Amino acid sequence: MNFYLELEKALFSADINTKELIVDRAIEYCQDFSVTFKEHTPIIPTKPSYSKICKIVEPKELPKRGDFSRLKGQIALVHSIAHIEFSAIDLAIDAAYRFTNMPREYKLDWLIVAQDEIRHFKMLKRLLEKLGSFYGDLPVHKGLFDASINSKDSVLDRMAVIPRYFEASGLDVNPKLINRLKSFKKSEITLELIEALGIIYQEEIDHVYKGDKWFKYLCNIEGSDYRVRYLDILERYNLRGRASQFDIEGRKKAGFSCEELIELGAKECK
């Protein structure tokens, strides 16, 4: 297997089955300790893979989700979550593909994350189909893609910005969304979405944990205080002060300490 060229194909492909096949093969390759990784210069994508199937607009141009009790609102919500998961697939593949000098364990971690994200996306894709819709039916934004491009030159920045900031922010939102959904009529769609979000939440804790692990690993190599370094990166990417309410327990499981959460703006942490 030409590891990096195959990951490149997966990263640029908009076909979920192609991504899944390559990621599964790449995981097997990484698990074989007799193989080596050839030198490779990664390509910088100019647009996200989903641009082939989705209309990309500015966030302010996205249609409002509307009432979840109506079909249009259900499609909008499921589509928006599916888009986050599709974006996360590419982010995980890119993490393994782009930073070639990182250890084998790092590559394997992010390929397993990509495998999880593919499964999450396929759950939501099936839900969209049950609603009479499909991924690409609604416009999307490319905020996560832009964040990946902005952090393309530094694996330390990437680990801070994507898993430790954006994915951790997803942990903060997920439980609140599940509780909101529980207030609606218990239809088949609602119950399936609640179940899917529960699975995503539990597995995203592990994804954030992996980002936390490699962020601290890199800070240790350069001899820096990870808490100070993280705040510095958030400042540079203009991400300070955006979080309001934290999922304290989820973030603690993912590697955040109470001391750091208080520094980041949590009102209390036990």
Residues 117 and 96 sit within 8 Å (Cβ to Cβ) = no
**In this predicted structure, what is the pLDDT of residue 267?**
86
Secondary-structure class of domain 3-264 per CATH: mainly alpha
**C-alpha closest to that of 117 among 174, 196, 213:** 196
Q: Delimit the domains of the chain by residue range.
A: 3-264
**C-alpha closest to that of 111 among 37, 231, 30:** 30
Instruction: Specify the residue for token string 């993912």.
Output: 254
Query: Taking the C-alpha atoms of 131, 196, 254 and 95 in order, what is their torsion angle to the nearest 10 degrees?
Result: -50
**In this predicted structure, what is the pLDDT of residue 241?**
67
Task: For residue 140, give the 3-state DSSP assignment.
Answer: strand
Rama region for 136: left / alpha / beta (φ>0; ψ in -120 to 50; rest) = left
Query: Taking the C-alpha atoms of 42, 43, 45 and 46 in order, what is their torsion angle to the nearest 10 degrees?
Result: 140
Q: pLDDT tens track of the chain, all 270 residues?
A: 899 999 999 999 999 999 999 999 999 999 998 988 988 999 999 999 999 999 999 988 988 877 888 899 999 999 999 999 999 999 999 999 999 999 999 999 999 999 999 999 999 999 999 999 999 999 999 999 999 999 999 999 999 999 999 999 999 999 999 999 998 878 889 999 999 999 999 999 999 999 999 999 999 999 999 999 999 999 999 997 655 689 999 999 999 999 999 999 888 898
**C-alpha closest to that of 210 among 83, 86, 114, 98:** 114
**C-alpha closest to that of 138 among 91, 72, 203:** 72
β-bridge partners, 140: 56
**In this predicted structure, what is the pLDDT of residue 104?**
96
Spatial distance between the Cα atoms of 144 and 158, rounded to a whole number of angstroms: 11
Rama region for 216: left / alpha / beta (φ>0; ψ in -120 to 50; rest) = alpha
- Number of alpha helices (DSSP H) and beta strands (DSSP E) in the chain: 11, 0
Residues 140 and 51 sit within 8 Å (Cβ to Cβ) = no
**In this predicted structure, what is the pLDDT of residue 68?**
84
β-bridge partners, 56: 140
